[in-house]
Structure 1
């Protein structure tokens, strides 16, 4: 049977190890290779055709080990016990401790089930050939033979194996053995030892995860193990794994201890727990007191937010609002709506406006929850905020209740809005508004108010002397169309050559330009006057032409209409037999030959028809009584017309 040559070694330097597993299975271990061979009898054809032995060796599995083989023995039908020496050397080039390995094999592969290093005397000086392995298969006993020691090995019982694993701090393996094979050891007892071991190594996170894995919903066990973390000031490590459901709710004191530790060492973690944990796990009042006792400015934001949440849990909404306002957290506006806290913010209006003016006003104007009187009273101490509020209120409330305040506020904070406000509002005292404008020297506003109060001459003087805007003065005079105003304007304008020209171009439709020209002093030098006068004459001529054209059109329209009326009135008119006299109300024409006609009929151009005898004043009367009634018969004529 051919065997593979080892790397960096010679095959003959290694002992070949044999062991019978049973009557037909031979185990061979040489260097670092193991072969499982089966001895079978040749069939009759093979024996007859050749001169061969009656039995043959068939390898059924070949695999390698990570060490050199000193001996091997069977354990089960597909498991071996192998004794070997590591291929590696220590730093001084001496041998490492020999190993005893249990291996499970298949066709051409193997798996190490367990491996133990053996502490034998003088192992540093020994080689692979210095060890051997014997066995008593029936008793499952194995003998490791070394130059100075003989070690007897036997199979572990489950409890022995667990004990050995625990003694060697192999708790995970021990728990796996218990889970698979049972025994007198309980999984919980080993888990507790494992937790203690991890805590001793300061592996607190691993210990906390193990608690979650093995303690389940057993309240007493959790409280017992959590106390171990408390003793080491490591409740933060276990906090993420603590049960918080109703199925396993711990004593409130446990959760409070965790919160206190976070409060002292990790404010952000404290806030996260307040957000995550249900409020029924702990006493909110106790935690609030603890925050006040341990409040630190560097952590103010986290602690204030935690206080706000705790106050919400206690339904102390006013205190929660104060916390959010201190935080400058705009969630306060949504909270006001969600919990209908409009009554609680009466004394917090200024902080709300400071936080977000637009959102604060939306809350203040919402559903008439807060009366403007309350807001105005609160804002009296801050005139700028009062102005913002009343300006916004004016857009949604047209009653004008506070317009008298807005006059002063516009004058102080946004003067450009004052004049449009004065023009659109009728809810302010004009004299007080005028006093404000005089104090602030707001001339356009003064002009408007004086004009509304009827003091147009003073208003015009302000335009001329203070504003010095001739176009504005002309428009003001046009608006009021007062000859006295025009005279004042003309008298003032002729003093300034540049103003005269503007005046001449702006008053054509309102004042006779001759009145302006006549007031110009002889010899007064007015640049551009000739061109202005020429333009004025052209404008005047154009206006004359327009007026004549309009007059011509009116006359043409009149004549055309008149001709149509005359033509219509000159047409013959059919008088039916059913028509009656408008005076006596009898038939105009009698169709009965036995009844003589009353008299002749008179028809006026207006269309009214009478008996001749019924015409007031006789048949020579040229006017219809209904169309031109006399004083004595107006009422009668109207009655007939209506009838």
Structure 2
């Protein structure tokens, strides 16, 4: 897609936005915008991120003699750097390249170029060798163990013992030529002891190293590890490259001892990692990794950050460009003179690599840097370059013949700049965020990096991606959001901010929101409507947006186009209605919603209580949505009379019916019951019968005539039954249904014998149903009456079976009555006998029995009562009285006959009351 299609509509110079925003041309374009990227191909991976930056040592520029010296060897210690030169001098410098030559003057141990130089573990002594057949131990600020050992060969490699400076350790060091020789200090001189004797075909020992009790050395036949104590060779590793093609003199091997007795051997273009392990007290060597790299190794160190299991190796080497790698190996093998080297077409490049070993022959390249600032001559060979490091200080040194380069890890600023350069914006911002406190006062602070990312995406035509980054970059910073709005406005991509611009936390100035709204108004009306509906009107000037929207609608109307323009105009009208609502111009808003027949008008009326403004437009509301209009009318029943509504919708009977249905479901509008019956009969017959059953306010006779005239059978039968005219209802049911079961069920519900008699007369006209009726009515009517109603001249199917059933039912009924009568007599006899038996039982009178009237003991002595024993009266009910008490009580109560228990009489009277 072209750039013009991505951008928003250009401003119309004839209309200026007072709020600082521009209007756009009237041409509407709602096409999907696509991002255009001019980055590198997405399928093409970015280069590996550098792990180090390379700088010249600071002190190198301040020491004049270093500018003219030719460097031949180097060794580093935690405190110093020792540099050997072609003139035989050794300079002791600090890690920044500065030397205190008053305290530690340059050493002059040799008359020719220093080929090797080594520190002891304490940094107190330097061991050096050269082609002058001397081994020299020089002190750094001390001379106690300084010595010179003259030999008859030219040494190729040297190494101190780890405990060289310790008393009674022998102060040993080793030298490698064809043989590996151990030198141990005796009382007057150093004593030589051959640890390994090599033949002429084995070549020279170009590298040796000493770690703990293990001495590693390498000649053309491979690398061997010698163990002190047992004095034996523990293991031997053959070279994995062609030593005849790549001569060790031009690409010598390099050793690196890592923790846990891991030996890394870098030789030519191969790397081998050997582990010395203890197997039952016997030391053995195991090759864990062996792989080829695309350069000739000049130095090797490691990065201990990930632990020994996932160690990363730091390699320094030369790569010859312009020929195949095998041809480059041939060049190193055959070149012997400067003229021959210059005649080749190869270009020498100094590079570093960080690799992580994986499997036996696999590794992962973590980074690869070409040090372009170092110009090497075409005759530079690997032995002229040296690379060493101090892993725990994360500092690495590279020595060429003329320069000393220090490699230090990338800092946050370097990493961010590299990521920005290759448009790795995610990683750049995360790094800036992670190191925010460190970078706050730099030009790569989180704020600055965020702005660079947005500007980068916008300049590369990736505005949509830039918009998606804004929430992460701007966060809660009001200033950054407002800056981003300005950038997108300048790029004419403000519509992309619609989905990401915050409306709270933070809240921006009104111009920012107005910029986005106006951009959407002219480029994306649907988005414009969404923003107006979701954004609070307090965020922007609603009067300004109303003016712009009105002008835009007029512009579209004048265009005279159809199709999409009509839809756009409708969207903008709907949005304008919402804006009027925000301004409390309710009449204008309702007028627009009514003209657009927008369903949202009901929500607006309910929310703002605007029914009084539309109660005269009930018909229009019904046309928009009858269900919501009816509910609106019912919710505002106090504001409008049902008669008024019925009058307004008098020409729309279906709306009248819907209105009455809703009204009567609330037990209102009883005066329109007859009208409802008529409307149901005309427009919704299925609901007529349920209405007739549920409602009781209509005129039954009028409704019956209406249903009868229209031939509504069920409704007419129901109304006949409701009006009490059961005979006509039964007659109609028999004639219309022709199904005697419904009629019989109806008669059973009424439980009227006369109705059954009437039914017999009606069914007589339908002999086919008479047999069933005889069976059903046998329990309700006298069989003689049923027999009397039998038609004489009709052929009644199954009559004999029906009569047999009738007689059997009657016989069973008679038998049942007889059994019940006999059972009653038996029960009466048993109850009578029980009564008589109970009446014949004696009534016990004991010494403790009390009179039921005076409550005194009946059998009391004279002393207790103060009177003589009196006669007593006993009743069958169990009550006992003194005769005197009962006589006086009976005299008091004239209504109680003598012989009736006074207590039982009292209980009976109370029950009757």
Q: TM-score w.r.t. structure 1 length?
A: 0.55
Report the Cα distance in structure 2 between the residues aligned to 1:480 and 1:276, rounded to whole angstroms.
65
Matches within 5 A, 1:356-371: none
**Contact 2:485/2:494 (8 A) holds in 1:** no
Report the Cα distance in structure 2 between the residues aligned to 1:566 and 1:594, rounded to whole angstroms.
36
User: Residue 369 of structure 2 aligns to a residue in which SS?
Assistant: strand
**Pairing 1:23–2:69 present:** yes
Q: 5+ unaligned residues in a row in structure 2: which ranges?
A: 1-64, 74-82, 86-113, 118-127, 130-134, 138-146, 159-206, 208-251, 255-265, 270-292, 296-318, 324-344, 356-366, 380-420, 430-437, 557-564, 855-861
Partner of 2:33: none
Q: Quickly say closer, same or farther: Cα 1:521–1:195, change in 2 above 3 A.
A: closer
Shift of residue 537, structure 1, vs aligned partner: 1.0
**Contact 1:101/1:113 (8 A) holds in 2:** no
Partner of 2:14: none
**Contact 1:271/1:306 (8 A) holds in 2:** yes
Q: Quickly say closer, same or farther: Cα 1:437–1:569, change in 2 above 3 A.
A: farther
Report the Cα distance in structure 2 between the residues aligned to 1:349 and 1:463, rounded to whole angstroms.
43
Shift of residue 457, structure 1, vs aligned partner: 3.1
Q: Quickly say closer, same or farther: Cα 1:372–1:523, change in 2 above 3 A.
A: farther
| Residue of structure 1 aligned with 2:519, choices 261, 273, 295 | 261
List per-residue Cα deviations over 1:138-157 (Å, max 9, x = no partner).
xxxxxxxxxxxxxxxxxxxx
Q: Quickly say closer, same or farther: Cα 1:528–1:270, change in 2 above 3 A.
A: same
**Contact 1:569/1:606 (8 A) holds in 2:** no
CA RMSD of aligned residues (A): 7.0
**Contact 2:767/2:795 (8 A) holds in 1:** yes
Shift of residue 217, structure 1, vs aligned partner: 1.9
Partner of 1:297: 566
Matches within 5 A, 1:152-167: none
**Contact 2:482/2:508 (8 A) holds in 1:** no
Report the Cα distance in structure 2 between the residues aligned to 1:298 and 1:344, rounded to whole angstroms.
28
Report the Cα distance in structure 1 between the residues aligned to 2:536 and 2:907, rounded to whole angstroms.
97
**Pairing 1:502–2:761 present:** no
Q: Quickly say closer, same or farther: Cα 1:225–1:63, change in 2 above 3 A.
A: farther
Higher relative CO (Cα under 8 Å, sequence separation at least 6) belongs to 2
Greater mean deviation of Cα atoms: 285-294 or 401-410: 401-410
List per-residue Cα deviations over 1:202-250 (Å, max 9, x = no partner).
6666888999979982799678756633xxx443356677786687834
Q: Quickly say closer, same or farther: Cα 1:495–1:103, change in 2 above 3 A.
A: same
Shift of residue 498, structure 1, vs aligned partner: 1.2
**Pairing 1:518–2:783 present:** no
User: Residue 479 of structure 2 aligns to a residue in which SS?
Assistant: coil
Partner of 1:91: none
User: Residue 261 of structure 1 aligns to a residue in which SS?
Assistant: helix
Partner of 2:136: 44
Report the Cα distance in structure 2 between the residues aligned to 1:473 and 1:198, rounded to whole angstroms.
87
**Contact 1:353/1:361 (8 A) holds in 2:** no
User: Residue 298 of structure 1 aligns to a residue in which SS?
Assistant: helix
Structure with the larger strand share = 2
Shift of residue 541, structure 1, vs aligned partner: 0.9
Partner of 1:431: 701
Structure with the larger helix share = 1
Matches within 5 A, 1:272-291: 273-274=531-532, 278-291=536-549
Greater mean deviation of Cα atoms: 300-309 or 524-533: 300-309
Matches within 5 A, 1:135-534: 217=479, 228-229=490-491, 233-236=492-495, 249-250=508-509, 252=511, 255-271=513-529, 273-274=531-532, 278-291=536-549, 293-294=552-553, 296-299=565-568, 303=572, 306=575, 310=579, 313-314=582-583, 319=589, 378=645, 383-384=653-654, 387=657, 407-408=677-678, 410-412=680-682, 415=685, 418-419=688-689, 421-480=691-750, 485-534=755-804
User: Residue 795 of structure 2 aligns to a residue in which SS?
Assistant: coil
| Residue of structure 2 aligned with 1:547, choices 814, 817, 827 | 817
Partner of 2:404: none
Report the Cα distance in structure 1 between the residues aligned to 2:713 and 2:796, rounded to whole angstroms.
29
Shift of residue 532, structure 1, vs aligned partner: 1.6
User: Residue 44 of structure 1 aligns to a residue in which SS?
Assistant: strand
Report the Cα distance in structure 1 between the residues aligned to 2:450 and 2:873, rounded to whole angstroms.
136
**Contact 2:763/2:769 (8 A) holds in 1:** yes
Q: Quickly say closer, same or farther: Cα 1:248–1:456, change in 2 above 3 A.
A: closer
